Amino acid sequence: MDKLTNKAEEQLKVVSTATLTTQLFKRGLRNVFMQGVRRVSTNAPALVGPAYTLRNIPAREDLDHLGVFEGRSHPQRRAIEEVPPGHVLVMDCRGETSVASGGGILMLRAQVRGAAGVVSDGGLRDTPEIAQMNWPVYAAGPSAPTNLIKHSALDLNVPIGCGGVPVYPGDIIHGDAEGVVVIPQEIANEVAADAWEQERFERFVVREVKAGKSIFGTYPPDDDTRARYQEWLKEGEPA
Amino acid sequence: MDKLTNKAEEQLKVVSTATLTTQLFKRGLRNVFMQGVRRVSTNAPALVGPAYTLRNIPAREDLDHLGVFEGRSHPQRRAIEEVPPGHVLVMDCRGETSVASGGGILMLRAQVRGAAGVVSDGGLRDTPEIAQMNWPVYAAGPSAPTNLIKHSALDLNVPIGCGGVPVYPGDIIHGDAEGVVVIPQEIANEVAADAWEQERFERFVVREVKAGKSIFGTYPPDDDTRARYQEWLKEGEPA
Amino acid sequence: MDKLTNKAEEQLKVVSTATLTTQLFKRGLRNVFMQGVRRVSTNAPALVGPAYTLRNIPAREDLDHLGVFEGRSHPQRRAIEEVPPGHVLVMDCRGETSVASGGGILMLRAQVRGAAGVVSDGGLRDTPEIAQMNWPVYAAGPSAPTNLIKHSALDLNVPIGCGGVPVYPGDIIHGDAEGVVVIPQEIANEVAADAWEQERFERFVVREVKAGKSIFGTYPPDDDTRARYQEWLKEGEPA
Amino acid sequence: MDKLTNKAEEQLKVVSTATLTTQLFKRGLRNVFMQGVRRVSTNAPALVGPAYTLRNIPAREDLDHLGVFEGRSHPQRRAIEEVPPGHVLVMDCRGETSVASGGGILMLRAQVRGAAGVVSDGGLRDTPEIAQMNWPVYAAGPSAPTNLIKHSALDLNVPIGCGGVPVYPGDIIHGDAEGVVVIPQEIANEVAADAWEQERFERFVVREVKAGKSIFGTYPPDDDTRARYQEWLKEGEPA
Amino acid sequence: MDKLTNKAEEQLKVVSTATLTTQLFKRGLRNVFMQGVRRVSTNAPALVGPAYTLRNIPAREDLDHLGVFEGRSHPQRRAIEEVPPGHVLVMDCRGETSVASGGGILMLRAQVRGAAGVVSDGGLRDTPEIAQMNWPVYAAGPSAPTNLIKHSALDLNVPIGCGGVPVYPGDIIHGDAEGVVVIPQEIANEVAADAWEQERFERFVVREVKAGKSIFGTYPPDDDTRARYQEWLKEGEPA
Amino acid sequence: MDKLTNKAEEQLKVVSTATLTTQLFKRGLRNVFMQGVRRVSTNAPALVGPAYTLRNIPAREDLDHLGVFEGRSHPQRRAIEEVPPGHVLVMDCRGETSVASGGGILMLRAQVRGAAGVVSDGGLRDTPEIAQMNWPVYAAGPSAPTNLIKHSALDLNVPIGCGGVPVYPGDIIHGDAEGVVVIPQEIANEVAADAWEQERFERFVVREVKAGKSIFGTYPPDDDTRARYQEWLKEGEPA
């Protein structure tokens, strides 16, 4: 299993989820963008990091009461305390948005511990406060009620679904203001490189389009455009 | 953990899911009836047995191809070969009904092996054939496409959700023509007994209502009705 | 307010919901067919009668417990005891199908009391038994859990919505194997007459189409078809 | 563009939608089974034939009134009069099920004209009568209101979507009691042959499983099973 | 029935919906947070006040025309003119978001009359203007079309459902940037007090977590944390 | 077919979708506001222009691959290159929001070419960049994956549905911060004039309501209010 290189991490921090989904589509992967998951912390930087997962099943009234938070064994609380620094906690809530999957204090603790961010396909509470965090948190919407009402936290770091997408522990999670994409870890380095190159070309395309060029022949490029792009590359992209 | 007694099993075979949900509601459990799960094998007998579970997550094109069925390791196939006799295979498909979670040959093998039945909250293929089986199979609807298109079978006999209800391995699964209810195994014997008693009383109520009695005073009973019921019990219920 | 005449009632018993929705569309009413409401008692005769309504709101755990059925004041039970003979009990469940809005004993009591039938846009329990009743019961699907889990019965005989359609007390409810249509009582007699006439003409159209006639010129009719229809009427429709 | 051979047509008449979706999945096609479309005419034979399409857009009150059925130009009526014998009329209703896309008289006319059947992803009216036809009609559910309320019929025999699946004119439509699959016409003959062969093998598998064989090694087959299958083929399949 | 004290009102103005749902969960109430209802007036202060309700049913074309707004009897208009100062107008739109339940002029009039705010589970029109009001308005989304197209306003100040939650007249409605919670009036004073106390403790927890404390032992607190909290209380919370 | 006059265009640029839906409701048109379509470019000016349409059907894996963008024939790319200046490109995505219907480069090219704006009922990618454009773009939500995964672009400038509303080429599309309304071109000039007049009156109403007037007698106006309005008009509305 390949580790994400520093270079790939830097590249991923500047490319978009849109570009990454195209690179994954080229590799035959069509279902990589989480549906219905939005960024809560509006001004947070890009999210990049390997997935550390939490699995929930539906709650049962006799098992999921406030007492479960006593002690040190509740999987949701363990997830917050055990997600490794630099990793992204991804919570499988089966798309149930009528209750929260976490709140402000847990997000704060995960941030203090050095996690890269949190992603949930359930609701989230304390969203007015979390919206102000300068740290990436994604969820399917604001929802005040406690997770215990609908969710029973069960497993740590097993393969899950989130937003309809498979997430295996260690997969690279990437988020921007559009949403969250899951990159299988085996191909994350090459996807990062190709995405970075694709966006460099698209910066050239934007310049061309602003100058009045047609989409035809430019995007995708014909031979003439390809030649012009090579020249542009030689000139060096302005910072 | 209490084992289901023979008497409780016999009682469960004759009571309805409606009665069982009332008994579970009396014990504070509101979310016990699987939503959207219907009986496919129309003429099958009642379903009663402990849960043996299979967990699916969303499929990934590179991992979930027809080759996975080679060998002996695919969890869906293992589920069919390993579900213990008398147990119910319950499949967590996260409510995804656009593809199948199994088909006729797998159902047949499970039946031959002595499983009590199969329950899925996903689609099912070969439903025209399965409809003719004299053996209980429940699913969220007919759907021809192979499971690989949307489901990746992952875990055996872990707690799951099915039809929005938590299912722990060993929970007692009960199905009739109305649907499927999940009874926590710890209380299955007492729930069975109370349900059987509730239905005996309701047979008396039906006789009363057919004779023109009002719901008021009869259902629930007032002192007079309770006395008449005791008499009726002494006379012995006609077979 | 016009009372439904005996003749109109007889006419309504033989025409279809499809024909009635066309007659109501001609009068500017587009939203008259209940969405998602199906006949549970498969072999029941046509349903015709004025609406008597029950309104539910979402349940609250402290108010909606099994104790509410004691005494004679619970609106759901009162609805069953008070729906006038020949009337249709229509229950507004706000389309919530995850629990029942009634069950077999209540349906039996309403039948014994002479109600024309029951319609609900919620779930229904004991559907295997109700399916065998020779009496019209409609609901949005089988659902075992008791109504108390989601519904709080509140008002009798107020205007409601059911299956997305407005229902005013006294409106004429009509059901066949396709579903349920609501006819404003002020126009029920004329709608019945026009629907009966429309179906007589359509019986003629079926004969024509079976004989090879094109839809064009036949349905709707041109002058030639109209003349042939008049002849057919003179000959007298075969019984 | 290949024409469907007589042999392929015969093969398609006996294979199931489940088998066909597997064959199409092997060819990289995952979205071929119409979602939410069910057979209305319960006892009809298998549906096989090339698609002839009708496209609807949402209705507009001033354009879509009962007067549009006068004359010979309304696309819905033209579809019924123009679908070639042996073809399947497939109606794109954008999944809108709250109104009908057709009714009993139109279905009768299409049958008389020799169409192979009708498929719609909208509602259908007169379903109690259509249910009795010995001719394949599929729709997304019973719905009495006239199509004019929501649908404006627009185009004949253009590519459409139906039940979420792309349908190009001439694609082979196949339906059984499970639902409807769309086979691109270019590959219909080979898909038919491979599906027929797959089902012959599965009949052997069913015999093996009934005799107690494990799924492992049988389905898919290992070398031993393959050899046994070849022997079984030589013996000749019993009729 | 207890009146909301001034102290409780002040406490409710500073606590969050998240905290209140936890307090209500402790009292057995799980369904108190309106689903799908969002604040339209982005910069409005917290919403606190007793509920005054309006009930809608689906519209009927002949009854719900622009003429109904003439005179002084239309319930929607009466609701705006009759909601008592300090009260919250809560509108039951059965979750129908395709049309508005009110617009800018009605909101302005309610504000001028001294209402505490407006909550609807339907759409709202003129949302660009309402977004600028410094007064709390909540709805299920922007929707320009007039309410008459789908809603018939019917009753004032009866129990209703809104956002899936039961609302009894006089219940205390509380809204923040996360959404809206309904507090039964009988327990509003004690819930306010306990919520305020819970948030005071959580401010201490935030300080602890920022200082590097684990969730375990802190939230919920162990004996050590409880002692430290008591000390912190003695020191007096900094303003 | 009437052309939109300059005066009508100016009037449409200042009136709201809410006002326009009321004017269309007065003319019997109830379904004119696109459901689920929101403005992506938050600070863009009002959108006004005739519709130029693109129709999509569901994608097929073998037909809809990245190679289709080569050459000059792909309908999505042609739509961008052919939408006439001043026109609005309206894309029918059948409400499929799980993938994009376009992205930043295409939007930029359409803007450079002088299109009035773009409207889609599908997803949109590159929404963080598009949000910054000072040019009106509407879609059903952010969604990174390429359109090819779900959409096959097919037809240019045919009647379509978008957001559940019929759109005929040349219909006037109007968008503000609330959403998008479709005005049949035949009545666009008169609707513009009446909407402008309605809003002038409503500015008077706002002044009255701010001054303490009741809704009753003011909105709609009684004779007294009508007289006051005439006076206000004479005085001349302050700029």
Q: Taking residues F42-53, what's their average pLDDT?
A: 97
Give percent of chain A above pLDDT 70. 98
Res B236 pLDDT > 90? no
A105 contacts E205? CB cut-off 8 A: yes
CA–CA distances in Å: residue F199 to residues E67, E131, F26, F239: 19, 19, 15, 14
Nearest residue, CB atoms, A216 vs list F77, F98, F148: F77
Q: Which residues of F touch D (CB under 8 A)?
A: 27-31, 57-63, 94, 152, 154-155, 158-161, 164-166, 184
Nearest to D99 by CA among F44, E42, C179: C179
Q: Is the peptide bond before F220 cis (omega within 30 degrees of 0)?
A: yes
The C-alpha atoms of residue C91 and residue C151 are separated, in whole angstroms, by 11
Digitized pLDDT (tens) for each residue of chain C, 239 residues in all: 568 999 999 999 999 999 999 999 999 999 999 999 999 999 999 999 999 999 999 999 999 999 999 989 999 999 999 999 999 999 999 999 999 999 999 999 999 999 999 999 999 999 999 999 999 999 999 999 999 999 999 999 999 999 999 999 999 999 999 999 999 999 999 999 999 999 999 999 999 999 999 999 999 999 999 999 999 999 877 65
Record the pTM.
0.97
Give the residue among B168, B138, B27, B148 at the shortest CA–CA distance from B98. Answer: B148
Q: What percent of chain F is modeled with pLDDT above 70?
A: 98
Nearest CB to C16 within list D69, D108, D126: D126
Give residue A178's pLDDT.
Answer: 98
Give the DSSP letter of residue C66.
G
pLDDT at F238 exceeding the cut of 70: no
pLDDT tens-digit series, residues B59-88: 999 999 999 999 899 999 999 999 999 999
| Residue percentage of chain B with pLDDT more than 70 | 98
Interface contact F25-E72, CB threshold 8 A: no
| Separation CA D41–CA D46 (nearest Å) | 11
Q: Do B146 and D179 touch (CB under 8 A)?
A: no
pLDDT at D1: 52
pLDDT attached to residue F215: 96
Q: Are A189 and A112 in contact (CB under 8 A)?
A: no
Using alpha carbons, select from F48, F24, F53 the residue that is nearest to residue F175.
F48
Q: Which residues contact B97 (CB under 8 A, 6 or more apart)?
A: B36, B122, B123, B140, B141, B143
Per-residue pLDDT, E239: 59
Pairing between β-strand D160-162 and β-strand D165-167 as defined by DSSP bridges: antiparallel
State how far the Cα of A164 lies from the Cα of B61, in Å rounded to an integer: 14
ipTM exceeding cut-off 0.90 for this assembly: yes
A129 touches A103 (CB < 8 A): no
Q: Which residues on chain E are in Cβ contact (under 8 Å) with A112?
A: 209-210, 212
**B21, C144: Cβ pair inside 8 Å?**
yes
Task: Read off φ and ψ for residue D200, nearest 5 degrees.
Answer: -60, -45
Which residue in chain E is spatially nearest to A73 when comparing CA positions? E216
Task: Tell me how far apart the alpha carbons of residues E45 and B119 are, in angstroms, rounded to a whole number.
Answer: 50
Least confident of A106-110, C69-73, F36-40, F180-184: C69-73
- Touching C (3+ Cβ pairs <8 A), the chains are B, D, E
Number of helices followed by number of strands (H, E) in chain C: 7, 10
Largest distance between two CA atoms of chain E? 69
Category of D167 on φ-ψ map: left (φ > 0), alpha (ψ -120 to 50) or beta: beta
CB–CB of A171/A20 below 8 Å?
no
Tell me how crowded residue A184 is: count the other CB atoms within 10 A of its CB: 20
Non-local (6+) Cβ contacts of B236 within 8 A are: none
Give the residue ranges of DSSP H helices in C83-176.
104-112, 127-130
Closest CA to B175 of B36, B39, B84, B11: B39
Tokens describing residue F12:
């449409």
Each residue's pLDDT tens digit, D132-164? 999 999 999 999 999 999 999 999 999 999 999
Distance from CA of E125 to the nearest CA of F (A): 6
- Coil/strand/helix, residue F229: helix
DSSP H helix total and E strand total for chain F: 7, 10
How wide is the angle at C-alpha E70 spanned by C-alphas E67 and E75, nearest 5°?
95
What's the one-letter identity of residue C69?
F
Instruction: Give the H or E element holding residue F138.
Output: strand F137-139
Locate tokens 């896309």: which residue? D101
Distance CA F24, CA F182 (A): 9
Contact E57, E161 (CB under 8 A): no
Q: Which of C208, C197, C222 is nearest to D70 (CA)?
A: C222
Report the distance separating Cα A128 and Cα E29, nearest Å.
23
Q: What is the structure's pLDDT at D236?
A: 78
Inter-chain contact B77–D176, Cβ cutoff 8 Å?
no
Domain with CATH 3.50.30.40 in chain B: 30-183
Q: Are C47 and C174 in contact (CB under 8 A)?
A: yes
| Interface touch F69/A21, C-beta < 8 Å | no
**What does the pLDDT profile of chain D (239 residues) look like in tens digits?**
568 999 999 999 999 999 999 999 999 999 999 999 999 999 999 999 999 999 999 999 999 999 999 989 999 999 999 999 999 999 999 999 999 999 999 999 999 999 999 999 999 999 999 999 999 999 999 999 999 999 999 999 999 999 999 999 999 999 999 999 999 999 999 999 999 999 999 999 999 999 999 999 999 999 999 999 999 999 877 65
What single letter denotes the amino acid at residue C89?
L
Q: Do E178 and A142 touch (CB under 8 A)?
A: yes
Mean pLDDT by 10 residues, chain E (239 residues): 89 98 98 98 97 98 95 96 98 98 98 98 98 98 98 98 98 98 98 98 98 97 97 83
Residues of D in contact with F31 (CB under 8 A): 58-61
Q: Domain D30-183: which topology?
A: Glucose Oxidase; domain 1 (3.50.30)
The three state secondary structure string of chain A is: CCCCCHHHHHHHHHCCHHHHHHHHHHCCCCCCECCCCEECCCCCCCEEEEEEEEEEEECCCCCCCHHHHCCCCCHHHHHHHHCCCCCEEEEECCCCCCCECCCHHHHHHHHHCCCCEEEECCEECCHHHHCCCCCCEEECCECCCCHHHCEEEEEECCCEEECCEEECCCCEEEECCCCEEEECHHHHHHHHHHHHHHHHHHHHHHHHHHCCCCCCCECCECHHHHHHHHHHHHHCCCC
